[in-house]
């Protein structure tokens, strides 16, 4: 019996499928072990006996064991704390302090120690560091100023600010400028150092003054004589004092040695006729390192200072109302006569009826103008009394001038001028104006 077409097709398909070979076997991919699982503990956990038993009595003990062992399957990373560098530094400092306690002198009565500690300063007893810094300072001074780095210039400036003879007469700005011109000189024992051309500071060694008269470092000192602290073993005398009897008596008894940080010399340029007298000279008792500040270097600073002041005075006069159209050459004649002066608040500059002694150009501050009038005051007894009163009339402000007519024509002032707050002005005294 012949088969239908559909069963025949199915039969042939099944025969074909049976003849197809099975697919090839694929390998199972390798599993990466986790870093957070302890596989040894996991294997031990899986082989605990009795955990598959169904009896209640035998289940409690394996269960407790399983729960105790289960946390050990997971690995916990240890947290690493960062290094404490400050603590190590403090340990090193504390160890250094313990070692140096036997070498430190008794500072229980030394106020400087407590002041420096209160301000967070370093320990004063660091001889090694101080010595290293000073040796670095000497090495910097051996270089020509043009070859020094900004850090080295700053180091020199820092040391100059520790010298009282300089800081008492020069401001920080001038010291900073001078620090870029100073250098050191080496003098052998027995040498004579003539200091007529600059200001000297002894850095190493000892020296003995050969001439005992010292001039003011710079001009402008009001006092005829100014003595420097004894720790620096030097003093400065003016020209008025050097020929006096008191000076001769004192100078004959002065026989002190000049040691480290002692100073001598002058910052004023001495004419050649006077420099031959060896006004400032010392004799070295040891091989000495001496810092020198050239007087010519300070002379340049003075010139720059004078130029800046003259420009400031020129600008001040030009801005005053009555001088706006003045030629510059005429104003320069006035600049040579101008002097700076400050007046406190409430100061009476001139009273009504008096002739003022100077012409003033206000640079900062202001002055009030008052007119003196005679008034009548009624008393309780129906009587009238005369009294003088000051009536406010106006104000003199910055960049204004006054006093020209009173000084030139010798005419009394018709009002009273009183400063409201601190006033800085440039003045020309009548004596200088009439001489000019």
Q: 415: domain CATH number?
A: 2.60.120.10
Residue 112 has pLDDT above 90, yes or no: no
Q: Please give the pLDDT value at position 236.
A: 38
Give 133-173 pLDDT, tens digit per residue: 888 999 999 999 899 999 999 999 999 998 888 888 888 88
Task: State whether residue 292 is helix, strand or coil.
Answer: strand
Picking from 305, 298, 431, 417, the residue whose alpha carbon sits closest to that of residue 352 is 417
Q: Are residues 420 and 351 in the same domain?
A: yes
Q: Are residues 287 and 408 in the same domain?
A: no
Give the confidence band of 223 by pLDDT, cuts at 50, 70, 90: very low
Q: Are residues 268 and 159 in the same domain?
A: yes
Give domain status of residue 262, yes or no: yes
Directed axis angle between helix 56-69 and helix 39-46, to 10°?
180
Q: Please give the pLDDT value at position 63.
A: 79
Q: Are residues 347 and 288 in the same domain?
A: no
Give domain status of residue 332, yes or no: no
Give the confidence band of 250 by pLDDT, cuts at 50, 70, 90: very low
Q: Please give the pLDDT value at position 249.
A: 30
d(CA 392, CA 325): 31
Q: Are residues 343 and 411 in the same domain?
A: yes
Neighbours of 212 (CB within 10 A): 16
Task: State whether residue 282 is helix, strand or coil.
Answer: strand
Final residue of a domain: which of 295, 317, 348?
295
d(CA 423, CA 395): 13
- Exposed e or buried b per residue across 331-363, where buried means at least 16 C-beta atoms within 10 angstroms of its C-beta: beebbebbeeeebeeeeebbebeeebebbbbbb
Q: Which domain holds residue 344?
A: 339-434
Indicate the burial class of 94 (C-beta count within 10 angstroms; 0-12, 13-18, 19 or more): exposed
Q: Are residues 286 and 348 in the same domain?
A: no
Q: Please give the pLDDT value at position 300.
A: 85
Give domain status of residue 86, yes or no: no
Give domain status of residue 114, yes or no: no
In this prediction, residues 67-80 reach a mean pLDDT of 77
Give domain status of residue 38, yes or no: no
Residue 288 has pLDDT above 60, yes or no: yes
Q: Are residues 155 and 263 in the same domain?
A: yes
Give domain status of residue 102, yes or no: no
Give domain status of residue 190, yes or no: yes
Q: Using DSSP, how many helices (H) and how many strands (E) does the chain show?
A: 16, 17
Give domain status of residue 265, yes or no: yes
Q: Please give the pLDDT value at position 339.
A: 92
Q: Please give the pLDDT value at position 111.
A: 65
Here the tokens at position 242 are 């050097």
Cα-trace Rg, the chain: 47
Residue 265 has φ and ψ, to the nearest 5°, of 105, -165
Q: Are residues 270 and 397 in the same domain?
A: no
Give 375-398 pLDDT, tens digit per residue: 777 787 778 888 878 889 999 999
Total domains, the chain = 2
The DSSP line for 29-70 is PPPPPPTTB-HHHHHHHHT-TTTT---HHHHHHHHHHHHHHG
Q: 23 versus 433: which is more confidently predicted?
A: 433
In this prediction, residues 196-202 reach a mean pLDDT of 89
Residue 185 has φ and ψ, to the nearest 5°, of -125, 145
Q: Are residues 175 and 266 in the same domain?
A: yes
Q: β-strand 183-187 against 384-396: which pairing, if any?
A: unpaired
Task: Indicate the pTM of the whole model.
Answer: 0.48
Per the CB < 8 A criterion, the answer to whether 236 and 254 are in contact is no
């Amino acid at each position: 019996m012949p088969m239908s077409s559909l069963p025949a097709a199915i039969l042939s398909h099944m025969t074909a499928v049976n003849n197809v070979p099975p697919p090839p076997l694929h390998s199972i991919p390798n599993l990466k072990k986790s870093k957070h699982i302890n596989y040894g503990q996991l294997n031990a956990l899986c082989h605990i006996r009795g955990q598959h038993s169904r009896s209640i009595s035998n289940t409690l003990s394996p269960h407790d064991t399983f729960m105790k062992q289960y946390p050990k399957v997971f690995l916990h990373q240890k947290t690493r704390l960062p290094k404490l560098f400050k603590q190590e530094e403090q340990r090193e400092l504390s160890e250094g302090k313990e070692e140096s306690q036997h070498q430190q002198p008794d500072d229980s009565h030394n106020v400087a120690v407590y002041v420096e500690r209160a301000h967070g300063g370093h320990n004063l007893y660091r001889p090694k560091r101080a010595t290293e810094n000073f040796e670095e300072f000497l090495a910097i001074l051996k270089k020509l100023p043009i070859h020094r780095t900004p850090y080295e210039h700053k180091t020199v400036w820092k040391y100059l600010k520790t010298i009282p003879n300089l800081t008492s007469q020069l401001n920080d700005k001038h010291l900073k400028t001078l620090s870029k011109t100073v250098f050191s000189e080496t003098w052998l024992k027995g040498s004579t150092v003539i200091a007529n051309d600059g200001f000297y500071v002894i850095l190493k060694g000892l020296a003995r003054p050969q001439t005992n008269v010292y001039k003011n470092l710079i001009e402008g000192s009001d006092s005829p004589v100014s003595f420097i602290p004894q720790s620096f073993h030097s003093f400065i005398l003016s020209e008025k004092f050097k020929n006096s009897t008191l000076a001769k008596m004192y100078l004959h008894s002065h026989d002190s040695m000049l040691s480290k940080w002692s100073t001598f010399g002058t910052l004023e340029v001495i004419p050649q006729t006077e420099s031959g007298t060896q006004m400032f000279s010392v004799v070295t008792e040891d091989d000495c390192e001496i810092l020198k500040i050239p007087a010519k270097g300070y002379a340049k600073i003075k010139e720059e200072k004078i130029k800046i002041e003259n420009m400031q005075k020129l600008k001040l006069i030009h801005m005053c109302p009555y001088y706006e159209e003045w030629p510059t050459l005429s104003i320069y004649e006035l600049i040579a006569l101008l002097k700076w002066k400050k007046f406190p608040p409430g100061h009476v500059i001139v009273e009504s009826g008096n002739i003022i002694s100077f012409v003033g150009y206000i640079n900062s501050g202001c002055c009030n103008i008052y007119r003196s009038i005679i008034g009548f005051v009624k008393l309780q007894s129906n009587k009238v009394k005369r009294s003088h009163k000051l009536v406010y009339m106006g104000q003199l402000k910055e960049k204004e001038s006054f006093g020209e007519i009173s000084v030139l024509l010798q005419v009394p002032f018709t009002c009273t001028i009183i400063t409201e707050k601190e006033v800085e002005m440039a003045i020309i005294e009548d004596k200088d104006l009439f001489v000019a």
